[in-house]
Structure 1
Amino acid sequence: MEPEVWRARAEAHRRRVETWTAPHLARRERGETHPVEDFLFTYYGHRPAQLRKWHPGAGVVLKGARDFGRDYLDTPDGAILDTAALMGRRRPSVEWIARLLAATAARPAYLGCFGLHEWAMVYKTAEVRHGAWPLRLSGEEIAGVVEERGVRCSHFDAFRFFTTEARPLNVLQPTRERQGELEQPGCLHANMDLYKWAYKLSPLVSGELVADCFVLARDIRAVDMRASPYDLSALGYRPIRIETPEGRAEYAAEQRGFAERARTQRQRLLDACARVLADAPASGDGSRPALAPR
């Protein structure tokens, strides 16, 4: 990649990411929180500075570059990612991510959950995660919706935040070990997690792909909270009232759109995994690595 090209891409990436990281950092400096905009920085373990760092991905020589950063080699032509060394350390993780992505992509999308995972997190409790924001309904009304509609959440990292009383109401009982068995492409949280898999694969994947997955996750988070029992109208988020037939139809339409967008991003991640796994020699036993749930 010619110097003028990779420098322009790196700068464009930095400017793009700055539109998300700068407001978050400013709020953090002021001691403020935002239940939608700050979520990807507080729930996931990728720091703003890491998101701002651009990478070309595996197999790209950055002509004229020297000392580009950790995990890069200097060659007579320029800097290139030391893919062999990285894969020597991270191959089991890459293999596990690829298996999860492929298994999720192979299943049909289920669009009948209606975002009730957020309702199950406040079911029969006064200790809510976003206590600074009011609920749209009373505790009794929330419980009534959960009990009438039922819960069918397949995503462990949502299920683990259910209240103790809500967990038995879930049709499924997800565990970390069953993640590859249960995740499906209609799930908002599984599609939001594409951002997690992208940054865990970085710098083997491009900075643009990580940022694209961030955009998808950010859009999903907005719908996730609009469909929740929280009232975020003061922040400009119109609620999706999934307690009504109209709200459930709206939610399913949003879910369908996200599933289609995620299909493209999931395939891009799978293609990147396939390339680096094909190019790097196999090592280790391929067992599941200790990936942080966040």
Structure 2
Amino acid sequence: MEVLEPEEWRARAAAYERRVEAWVAPHLARRSRGEAHPVEDFLFTYYGHRPGRLRRWHPGADVLLRGARDLGRDYVDTPEGATLDVAALMDRRGSSVEWIARLLAATASRPAFLGCFGLHEWAMVYRAEEVRHGAWPLRLPGEEIARIVEQRGVRCSHYDAFRFFTPEARPLNALQPTRERQPELEQPGCLHANMDLYKWAYKLSPLVCGELVADCFELARDVRAVDMRASPYDLGRLGYRPIRIETAEGRAEYAAEQRGFAERARPLRRRLLDVCERLMAGAARI
């Protein structure tokens, strides 16, 4: 059991809250005005972690906060302070921890594939009458988008991207991902697989520390920007320069971004997997 003295855990909590407030406050301000941002709001609207939950720092499993009391249902008070009730949390979430660990380990075991070039976003608007981000214009006419998708094909391994393809685009994909096949297909070069590290971090929360959740959020935020820059949408009014994956230069730029994100994601995936493995080992000893 790691012990954090009051000055240390209070400083960590305050630093964490300042860090995430820079992301949460603008989102809530836009929401109050009825505005939507296709990049900055995505992590709040697509993923299910509410801003209020993201704002709260947790120390993670097996950490005692000396002098703390009454921290909520997930914590137990001791004579020395408060700590997470890991046994109770694992009773409720043990199967989820095991599934996440299996997915993280399988993804980490594979080489990064850098040949998809972000065409999943193009497949989501392929021959569509309405598009998901209808407030923003497309960079190219619909027929040109369709020609590029048909000419290059789609090589998407991520189920949660594939499920948003238009019905006409799904047969054009080299794979037919399903939820059941997710551990079999995900690979570390995929932008969505790396963005999803935020999802696995908050789903493991409060068993992982808040700093790891924030690190995954920060990566996911950067990934989302590249994801939309490589899409067929024109976000120039928001200051996003397009990555023109319809050109050889754009494809090379996209692959370089993928490679960089895979490198940034590797230690985060490992940290999440380490937490899962320690939790499962502790549960097995009980």
Give TM-score scaled by structure 2 length.
Answer: 0.98
Structure 2 CA distance, aligned partners of 1:145 and 1:239?
A: 16
Q: 2:45 aligns with which of 38, 42, 46?
A: 42
**Contact between 1:135 and 1:229, CA under 8 Å: does it hold in 2?**
yes
Structure 1 CA distance, aligned partners of 2:285 and 2:79?
A: 28
Paired position in structure 1 for 2:155: 152
User: Could you tell me which amino acid in structure 1 is paired with residue 253 of structure 2?
Assistant: E
Paired position in structure 2 for 1:292: none
SS at match of 1:173: coil
Structure 2 CA distance, aligned partners of 1:139 and 1:204?
A: 46
Matched, 1:72 2:75: yes
Q: Deviations over 1:199-248 (max 9, x none)?
A: 00000000000010000000000000000000001000000000000000
Structure 1 CA distance, aligned partners of 2:129 and 2:35?
A: 22
Structure 2 CA distance, aligned partners of 1:68 and 1:79?
A: 7
SS at match of 1:269: helix
Shift of 1:69: 1.8
What is the number of residues matched between the two proteins? 283
The structure 1 segments of at least 4 consecutive aligned residues displaced by more than 6 Å after TM superposition are none
- Identity %, equivalent residues: 81
Structure 2 CA distance, aligned partners of 1:176 and 1:277?
A: 23
Shift of 1:126: 2.0
SS at match of 2:284: coil
Structure 2 CA distance, aligned partners of 1:175 and 1:282?
A: 34
Shift of 1:281: 3.4
Paired position in structure 1 for 2:17: 14
Structure 2 CA distance, aligned partners of 1:89 and 1:30?
A: 38
Paired position in structure 1 for 2:275: 272
Structure 2 CA distance, aligned partners of 1:210 and 1:280?
A: 22
Give TM-score scaled by structure 1 length.
Answer: 0.95
Map 1:59-138 to 2 at 5 A: 59-138=62-141
Structure 1 CA distance, aligned partners of 2:285 and 2:46?
A: 33
Structure 2 CA distance, aligned partners of 1:183 and 1:263?
A: 14
Structure 2 CA distance, aligned partners of 1:281 and 1:164?
A: 44
Two-structure CA RMSD over aligned residues (Å): 0.9
SS at match of 1:80: strand
Paired position in structure 2 for 1:256: 259
Matched, 1:230 2:233: yes
Map 1:117-266 to 2 at 5 A: 117-266=120-269
* Structure 1: segments with no counterpart, 5+ residues: 284-294
User: Could you tell me which amino acid in structure 2 is paired with residue 169 of structure 1?
Assistant: L
Q: Deviations over 1:242-291 (max 9, x none)?
A: 000000000000000000111110000001111111112379xxxxxxxx
Matched, 1:51 2:64: no
Q: Which of 274-283 and 175-184 deviates more? A: 274-283
Structure 2 CA distance, aligned partners of 1:70 and 1:260?
A: 37
